[in-house]
Amino acid sequence: MDPITWVYIIVLVVSLVVAVAMAPKPKSAKPPALSDFSVPTVEDGREIVDFGGTVWIDDPNITWYGDLKVYPPIKATGGK
């Protein structure tokens, strides 16, 4: 091999070692708990907020969610 090829290989290996050594180390964080999330809930006896327009609710209460029906899968036949 040509001497310049060896120089390129050495520079590549050295830069790879330096990049790995200088990379930021990930912090070991605990996985998120359920209390860390704000999810809509359903509770009996909880008041229903009545508002108009577009507003942000921090702790929404779900009272109704769509028309939940199960439909049979579509079965197609192949040709005539």
Cα separation, 17 vs 23, in Å, equals: 10
Share of the chain above pLDDT 90, in %: 25
Per-residue pLDDT reduced to its tens digit, 25-49: 888 788 878 777 777 777 778 777 7
- 58 vs 9, residue with greater confidence: 9
Q: Hey, what are 46's tokens?
A: 């909880």
Q: What pLDDT is recorded for position 6?
A: 93
Q: Is the pLDDT of residue 11 over 90?
A: yes
Average pLDDT in the chain: 81
Q: Give pTM, 2 decimals.
A: 0.35
